Structure 1
Amino acid sequence: MPTELEELVGFIAHPNPQIRAVAIENLVPFSETEPSIFKTEQLKPVKHLKFLVRDIPKIAEHALTILINLTGDQEILEFVATDEKFLEMVFSHIVHPEEPNADLLAMLLANLSKHSHTKSILHRTQETPSQLSSSDRVIDHLMDLFVKGQDGAYNKKADFDYLAYVFADLAKHADVRQYFLAEQPYDGVIPLTKLKVFTEHKSDIRRKGVANTIKNAAFEVSAHPSFLSDSGIDILPYVLLPITGNEEYDDDDSMDMLPDLQLLPPDKKRDSDTSNIQTHVETLTLLTTTREGRDLMRKVKVYPIIRETHMSVNDEGVQEACDRLVQVLMRDEAPEGAEEGTEERVKEVEADEDDELVEV
């Protein structure tokens, strides 16, 4: 005999919208406490939830909330993330400037992007409102939503902050990393340069997602010259500023630092999230993979900044990351052609990647 909860789950497919609305609203808390009730009959309730994302806004809101909570389960994640028609619907809805549940769609995508199938976004196309993008590629649409849509500028009911988590997971795939690192035909801009400006944004979510996207993209060693060039991606100021406080440095050190790090205001603060600081230090470590990267960091006095970060941030992960970077910057260079330790350094950083699920 089905339990009362299982009977309630059955009502989300009821033809009467009022009954559907009451049932699904009452089921939201159980998506966290008893997710198994949605896994009956070969995930039939999840199939209904995917359909209800197209329903009236309030029902769709509850359906999305439940799906966000359920996609922490690997079986459900697989079932949702590999549904091509469902993904097509999500992407077509999220770009609409009046979509009331756009941020919930972004949160759901943040979870779905943990499944490898989501990297197929690289090859997806669709029509989109002209005020958003001149491209027909879905990945460009998400990038434009993130940049143009902050603080309700594109859709009054959305800030699209959670798309930063989508980008971070997509950047774990080598083929998608190329997208973030290459100038795009539709606007002539390298996508990572659009993201780097958010490393000190007021939104904790934006800062975290962007920090991880930059770090994951930095595994592409062939792109390091662009990362370090002021005519390319020019990432160093945007990675160093969030880890820099209001410390005073010796004149000799200060004069050699990047212009953006000189004469900082007395109220300058580091990122409040120590995990972001650790991520940025790990990005710097990745960028020491090449001799050019190490030499540049020594030249612009990265070591004093890392030294002060180590002393000021009472966090084991941050201090260990600082120690690893200092060991690289302060060591003597091997003779030409005798360089060692690059693979170990990359693996050391890669093992520390974060993999956070979104819940409502």
Structure 2
Amino acid sequence: MKPQLAKEIVFIYFAGNATVLQKKLIEEWLEDPDNAETYFEWIQEWEMSRPQFLPDVGGAFENMKRRIDSGDQPEPLYEPGTGVSTGYRKRFMNGWRWAAVFLISAGLGGYVFRDGLLYQRYRTGYSQTRTLLLTDSSTVVLNPNSELKLLRWAFGIFGREVFLDGEAAFVVRHKVDHQSFIVNTTDNGKVTVLGTEFFVYTRKKDTRVVLNKGKVQISSQHIRKPLDMKPGEKASINAEGMIEIKPLSKVELSDPAAWKQHLFRFDQTALIDAAEQLNEVFGVEIVVEDPVLSAKEVTGTFKAREADELLTVFAEMLDMTVQIRQDKVYLTPNP
């Protein structure tokens, strides 16, 4: 277990007054990736409490990202034949302050902060949901076992682009400059919108999009031109990158809030596929060894807080037995 660390020690380090022992404690603490987000939150808190060091965030971020990506050296302080550029001096000090934080942090035990510095991650555990209000006033509801990644600073200035692994409902705020909002999925697909309400499910097996309001474009690496979706439609991207758009069923249209509340909706879904969904949401390993049982289909909309609630319903529907052995759930047909 990594040591717990007091915020005051990290603040002393930011001020450049940390002892060798304190630096060692920070190094060991940062070996745990879960502490990285706390570290960056403390950076912001420390900076905001010292207004004399407040940066030009937009310029600083652009400077830092360009240099990290390209490996460029800092531009010279002196312009040939003109002496010192006072305007550049200000941009230099503001722009490289955050880069200095990155370089110092990266030197702690070889800890790689590049992705963590540029992007902020929001995660949910099994059976956990989380509502996020982004800086552009858009709202995201993360469903269980999901992650959303977006720019840590200047989101909405350098674009509105997020990366989703899992399930999330989006209510996107339209901007006066018509800036697009882009959701990148795990299969390298993209959902591009201006202002709308939609749901995205992206897992290893496939990606699905449900549009409630507005208009979105959906694309993948394997099609040349993005396809438009209209309200009341759903789209799916299969493992080969092919996109299929079709109308929502009458049942889906009659309960438009279902995708927000993370109700489980099955439409002639094979038990083995339904079991995979339960595993993704609740983190339970379900084993269906009987091929006839695994192919049986379930249909309906169910609300469940635990996997047991759904499995009990399935047991009655499909005449099967649910047994737990060695941390696995086995589904077997009744004799």
Interval containing the TM-score (normalised by the shorter chain): 0.3 to 0.5
Normalising by structure 2, we get a TM-score of: 0.34
Higher helix share: 1
TM-score, reference length from structure 1: 0.32
Bigger fraction of residues in strand: 2
Select the structure with the greater relative contact order (CA < 8 A; seq sep ≥ 6).
Answer: 1
